[in-house]
Amino acid sequence: MKNKLRPVGRITQSRPTIEGAGVRLRRALGYSDVPLFDPFLMLDDFGSANPDDYLAGFPWHPHRGIETVTYMLEGEFEHGDSLGNRGLLRSGDVQWMTAGGGIIHQEMPKKYEGVMRGFQLWVNLPSSKKMMEPRYRGIEKKDILETEIAKGVRAKLISGKLNGRTGTVKDLVVPIEYFDFFLEPGTSYIHETRKEWNAFCYVIEGTGLFGKEERAVSGGHLVHFENGENIRVITKKEPLRFLFASGPRIGEPVAWGGPIVMNTQEELELAFAELNEGTFLKGSKNSAPASRVSGSFYRK
């Protein structure tokens, strides 16, 4: 079994940055990590006990060519988009948004007593789906499957299959696995993976020993694994909570400009030109005016 374990490829610490209209967060993976994490583009860890760090939020902004997955641990976000969706993302909820050919939305945090914390994962779309009809799915905490995987191991199954159980979010464009694991102290767990898929873990809290080499990884650090069949995680004297994500590599060129990810620079420039001209929204359900968005918003 040991020679089937995935070796640890890289361990990195999340980096502080500011996004949106002034939200302080930590970026676990981003632009500089492409194409190592294919099909994953970005993972942001946002949270603070100080409302001044997050209340400015993420006002109206566009997306194209990606899916965004927002997972709230604690707190509330008010969501609105050009498809006409409106609602509140609460503690434990998930928001899965497929931008496709174009969507405009806003995510505005509400003041929260205690530590507000959540994560946003960006998943790339293959070229054949870059301009698909956008769609939005809001999943409440009560509908997310949580199950005991083994002695001392529990997991919330957001998407993908685990021990014969299927996660709550189905019918994905890119069929990623996305789980929230909880390990009790003194636990050894081996998680079976598809050996041809990319895989990483992001530690939310606690410390664990990861991979074939049993590398110690603590909260706020991300572990990227090399190819192999299984991932081993061991805990000693403290509990561990971590996100696990795995998905098939798309293997296509990436042209990335802020919230828009295409395959070529020409496609990227066209998207921003359409945004400035007011012709950005393509889906038949889209109705919000692109004029709500500042032309320079999120352009990097």
pLDDT tens for 250-260 read 999 999 999 99
Please, which pLDDT band fits residue 282 given cuts at 50, 70 and 90?
confident
61 touches 99 (CB < 8 A):
no
Mean pLDDT of 113-123: 97
Overall average pLDDT of the 174-185 stretch: 98
Question: Please, are residues 103 and 82 in contact by the beta-carbon 8 Å criterion?
Answer: yes
Residue type, 256: W
What are the residues whose beta carbons fall under 8 Å from the beta carbon of 60, sequence distance 6 or more?
Answer: 104, 105, 106, 288, 292, 293, 297
C-alpha distances in Å from residue 167, one per residue of 38, 75, 260:
21, 23, 27
* Domains in the chain with CATH codes: 2-247 (2.60.120.10)
Look at residue 232 and tell me whether its pLDDT is greater than 70: yes
Phi and psi at residue 246, to the nearest 5°: -145, 145
Q: Kindly state the average pLDDT of the residues 242-250.
A: 98
Sign of the dihedral defined by the CA atoms of residues 177, 205, 111, 61, in that order: negative
Tokens coding 22: 């002034």
Residue 164 has pLDDT above 70, yes or no: yes
pTM higher than the cut 0.75: yes
Distance, CA of 162 to CA of 289 (rounded, Å): 41
Distance CA 104, CA 162 (A): 33
- Matching residue, tokens 């685990």: 162
**Pairwise CA distance, residues 216 & 227, whole Å:** 19
Round to whole Å and give the CA distance between 76 and 73.
9
Q: Residues 268, 255: contact at Cβ < 8 Å?
A: yes
Q: Mean pLDDT of all residues in the chain? A: 93
For residue 282, which phi and psi values (nearest 5 degrees)? -110, -30
Q: Given this model, what pLDDT does residue 240 score? A: 98
Predicted pLDDT of residue 1: 53
- Is pLDDT above 80 for 175? yes
* pLDDT score recorded for residue 262: 98
SS3 string, the chain, reads: CHHHECCEEEEEECEEEEECCCEEEEEEECHHHCCCCCCEEEEEEEEECCHHHCCCCEEEEEEECEEEEEEEEECCEEEEECCCCEEEECCCCEEEEECCCCEEEEEEECCCCCCEEEEEEEEECCHHHCCCCCEEEEECHHHCEEEEEECCEEEEEEECEECCEECCECCCCCCCEEEEEEECCCCEEEEECCCCCEEEEEEEECEEEECCCCEEEECCEEEEECCCCEEEEECCCCCEEEEEEEECCCCCCCEEECCEEECCHHHHHHHHHHHHHCCCCCCCCCCCCHHHCCCCCCCC
Say yes or no to pLDDT of 290 above 70: no
State how far the Cα of 268 lies from the Cα of 256, in Å rounded to an integer. 7
Is 20 a residue whose pLDDT tops 80? yes
> Is the pLDDT at 298 greater than 60, yes or no?
no
Q: How far is CA 260 from the centre of its chain?
A: 15
Asked if the model's pLDDT at residue 285 lies above 90, the reply is no
**With 80 as the cut, is the pLDDT of residue 186 above it?**
yes
Give the pLDDT score at 299.
Answer: 39
In this prediction, residue 151 carries a pLDDT of 95
Whether 17 shows a pLDDT value over 60: the answer reads yes
